[in-house]
Structure formats: C-alpha cells, structure tokens
Structure 1
Amino acid sequence: LHPDGPESSSYFPFPFQIAIPAVMIPHLTAVGLLEAAVTVFVLLLLFKSQHAITHLSKYTALTLMVILLMLLPSSLFAHDFWIEKMGSHFMVVYGHGSQRLEFDSSKLKMLKAFDLEGREMRVVSEKRAGGVLLKTEASPSLFFVAVDDGYWSKTIYGWRNLPKRKATRVVEAIRSYYYSKAILLWGDICQRPLSEAQLEIVPLENPIKMRPGEVLPVRVLYQGTPLSGVEVEAGDHEKVAVTDKEGIARVKLSKAHPVLSVKHKEPIRNDPDADFLATTSTLTFEVTK
C-alpha cells in the first residue's frame, strides 16, 4: 500500500471501499471454508509424517473437521422426491436439479390420486428405471405421495443413510419424510389441505392458467397450521419466496415446469437414532407456456 498515494494498492488498483469487501467476503465464506479444510488436511499429513499424532492433535483435528462440516451449506447434500411428468405419464423421481437417482421403491408409503370432485381414485405403481410410474384409469386432478426416507446421519465423512447408532463420528442425525403433490387438473381438491400430509404447499390460485413471470400465492402448512418464515425453493434449490406470518408466500413463476419445495426441521424426542425430524414437501404443476 502507498500511504501518500490514492486509496488503492499496487496489486489491487481499486479504492478501499471496493478492494476490502472484494477480498474479505470470499475469504469469510466459501473460500474461507476451503482454506480451513486444506489446513486441517495438511496438519493431519504433517502429524502423520512425523509420527507425532497425540490424542490432543487427533481430537483437535476432529473438532476442526466437525466445525467445518457444520458450516458447509446443507444444499450440498440436498436431494428431493417429487412427481414429474414423463411424456403422457407421471413418475415419482428422486434427485437434485437435473440429476435423477435410483431409489428403493419400498420407501413410498402412500400413493393417492383424486378426481375433480375430490374422490379418491385407484393408483397402480410400477418400478421403472429412474423412478416409479403412476397409473390411473382416468386422468386425475391431483397425485399425492408420502415417502419415508428413513434415517440419515451426517458424519465427518458426509451423509450416510443410517440411523445414529449404526453410523460413526456422527455430527447430527435426522428422520426424513417427504410429501409430494402434482396438479394435473385444477379442482377443489387442489386448494384443500390433505390430512395425510404433515407438511404441505397449498396453491391459493390456479397455477395451470398462469404464465411464466406471473405471481402464484401459496400457503405452507405444517400439521395443518400456517408456517411462517419458511423459504420456498424452486428448481435447483433456488430461494424464490419466504412465507409471512399467515404462512403465505408469493412465488414468481419462472419456467413451464416448476418444482416448488419447502423444508421444516425440528428436534425429535424419544428416538435414540435421530436428533431431528426433517420434513420436505414438493409441489409440481404445469403452467401455460
């Protein structure tokens, strides 16, 4: 730096009000986490090469790794279940963004379809590559699926689909459930909360008639009660709205095949295999192109 010159440096030729945030913000967020991870890794290598790994150094490194893992964004591990249109059919799929992963179809604990009058219809499921196909004799108004995704433990090595007592070096463990809806034809059933869904996104207007760029009001309910301060995500976990004190969020539609999702996490009691109950709800529909 040159104290007699302008407010800039010889290697970053911008004023301090630009240079300092530009340098500090990355190092206090993603770059800082990466540097911390590299530091821990190098320290472990040094301790190992010198044959001087004491109990203190082991636990110090372990503590640093746990803290780092807790600071990593949860979206790195975010995978969802939702109902997706495949040609003229609908499938329950699992994945993240454009990625589709295979899953155990026995996790599907409830499959329902409703007609325009709100009457329940018979649904037949068929395991296919990339998901589970849903079949009905006539076109339904709404599909609903409940998924029990079991126990997941967040360890220092990453997420494991194991209960807490069967995993090692656990940071936290969750019991995971998903509730997914797909609207095909707008009817009264689409606006009514479903008693089978613990967490639910209820559209307050007909989204099928909307075009990209229009705003869709939705209400988020948890066990039938409006949930405030919840982020509504769309597509590849992009935050698009937050619910108000009445559980209502206003979502600007951005593409023809949106997937809306919300998540809720709370401490769980009397379960030695999980610390939290994690619930996710997804809603899919088509809008006018």
Structure 2
Amino acid sequence: MGDSDFSRNPVFFVHDQVNRPKMNRTILFFGITIGYLCFSIQAAAHFLWVYPEDTRWVIARGISPTNLLPYNPENIVDIRALDQQWNNIPIHRTDENQRCVFQADQAPTVVVVTSEWGMRVNTPDGKKLMTRQQALERGLQVQSAFLSTQYSKNFFGPVSDWSKPAGLRFEIVPLTSLDQARSDHTLPIRMLFDGKPLSGCQVFSTEDRKGVTTDPEGKVVIPIRSGSMPLIWGHLDVPVSNDPQIDYHQFMTFLQVHTPEWQPNAARQGTDK
C-alpha cells in the first residue's frame, strides 16, 4: 500500500518522470546497483495496525485512529496472534464487509499482520490503483509501476524477549524493553529485511516524520518526546528487473504499542467503522 507520495534518494535510484510507452522501461542508477533501497516519506502514509473491539481484534487501515479506510479483506494474507512467550495462539478469522477481524482462544500479547495491496502506478496526475497495462489502455502516462506489501507488529503487553523477531519479511525489532524505553525516552530498534540487518534505511514515527537512518548493523534510536509511544514505520523499495509490469516492489512495516501505560497517540482503537 503506502498510498502517499515519496521523494526518492537520487544517490541510489531514480525512476521518477520516466516515460514507458508500450513497456519501454528506463531505470537510471547513480553509483552502484544495490539490492534494496529505503526512501524518505514526504506525506502521511496509510498505516496498518490492529486494535481491540469488544471480544475481537480489528485489522485497521487508515491515517489516524479516527480516519479508518475500507479495504478488501482478501488483501490481508496472514494474521498471527502470539502469547507472552512468542507461542502461536489459534485464531478465528472473519472477513467482514470492507475489513478483516479475528477472535483468539486467549488474549494475544503480540499480533503480526501481512497485507498484499496489489498493483499501483504513478502518473503525472497522481497514484492510481491499477496495473501498468490497465493504465496504458486508458491512455495514462505511466511514470512507474509497483507492487505494494505491508507488515504490522502490534504489542498488547510485555513479552519474554523484546528483541525476538516475529518472522516478518520486513520488520522493526525493539532492542530493549519498553519499560527501559520509557525511562530513557528513546527506543533503540533494528530493521530487518529477509532476516538480515538493513543498513541505510530511514525510519519514521508520528513524532519524527523527518526520519532517522539505520547504521551498518541496521540499528537506529527512535526518540520518545512525549509520554506515549509513537507509531513507528519503515519504507523500502526493491527494484524489479524481470517483470515488465512493475519497476519495484514497495514494502512498508509498522510497529505499534497498545499497552495502557503508553496510551498510544496514533493508530490505537478507532471510532469509525
């Protein structure tokens, strides 16, 4: 997903303002070719998170707690509920009209979600939710085309090991307990992609939309300026060279803490359905 405009770092990859009539694709690389890239976010993204509703948990997509957006529940391709020891909890999923919910055999401590939002194209008139071929058939100028995937990790209580990865392909991993983070007013994290540290990746939060960049070990420190834990996210574009329909695969990953002591200031329980 990530339905917002992004400014791309020209040191690594340039694909804006490129005409591709009849699939004629041009990709310009500055410096060296790299396998994956991270970029700065200029505008608010459509976030992905989970919140409790009565005896159920809702997979939410939107911009704020009160601005929930409808979506096709079939785009939610994986949901896992975990206990305090990171063991799987059986869930019972229901695909409702324009959203996905689930019930669990016990209250989960962690919930992780994977969503596949499909094809997008960038045009001079903005982003369109269609394939390159559909856009060309409509006479649109396609600047770039991409596939969108999002991941979300949500904490509803303390866990036995905060630094344990949940197994998402693109993941934010805390490197300290949230009690320690609250005391220090910072949260050190590591960004992982395909299970490996991701260096040079910009990470954002609802308190720091300018972003901070991970070091060679994929680590970065997120400031916590208020008494609440911000929503944290990372953004990654992976160039695709063997598919004429897309130029890159866009990934976004989110980390949200829902424990009462943090009183999260973004992406908590919503009011709109």
Match for residue 117 of structure 2 among 142, 149, 152? 149
Match for residue 170 of structure 2 among 175, 199, 218? 199
**Distance (whole Å) between structure 2 residues aligned to residue 200 and residue 217 of structure 1:** 14
Q: Which amino acid aligns with 2:248?
A: F
Bigger proportion of residues as helix: 1
Please give the secondary structure, in 1, of the residue aligned with 2:228: coil
In structure 1, list runs of 5 or more residues that go unmatched. 1-72
**Residue of structure 2 in register with 1:93 after alignment:** 60
% identity of equivalent residues: 23
C-alpha deviation, 1:240, in angstroms: 4.6
- Relative contact order, CA 8 A, sep 6+: which one is greater? 2
C-alpha contact 2:76 2:115 (8 A) present in aligned 1: yes
User: Structure 1 runs of 4+ off > 3 angstroms?
Assistant: 73-77, 84-90, 126-131, 208-213
RMSD, matched Cα: 2.6
C-alpha contact 1:103 1:131 (8 A) present in aligned 2: yes
Q: Which amino acid aligns with 2:83?
A: D
In structure 2, list runs of 5 or more residues that go unmatched. 1-39, 263-273
- Scaled by the length of structure 1, what TM-score is found? 0.67
**Residue of structure 2 in register with 1:4 after alignment:** none
**Residue of structure 2 in register with 1:125 after alignment:** 93
CA 1:203–1:185 in structure 2 vs 1: closer, same or farther (change >3 Å)? Answer: same
Confirm whether residue 84 of structure 1 aligns to residue 51 of structure 2: yes
C-alpha deviation, 1:267, in angstroms: 0.7
**Distance (whole Å) between structure 2 residues aligned to residue 192 and residue 141 of structure 1:** 13
Q: Which amino acid aligns with 2:59?
A: V
C-alpha contact 1:256 1:286 (8 A) present in aligned 2: no
- Scaled by the length of structure 2, what TM-score is found? 0.70
C-alpha deviation, 1:117, in angstroms: 2.5
**Equivalent residues in 2 for 1:171-190 (5 A)?**
171-188=143-160, 190=162
**Residue of structure 1 in register with 2:80 after alignment:** 112
Confirm whether residue 251 of structure 1 aligns to residue 215 of structure 2: no
**Residue of structure 2 in register with 1:103 after alignment:** 71
Please give the secondary structure, in 2, of the residue aligned with 1:170: coil
C-alpha deviation, 1:91, in angstroms: 2.1
Bigger proportion of residues as strand: 2
Aligned positions, number: 216
- Which has the higher Rg, Structure 1 or Structure 2? 1
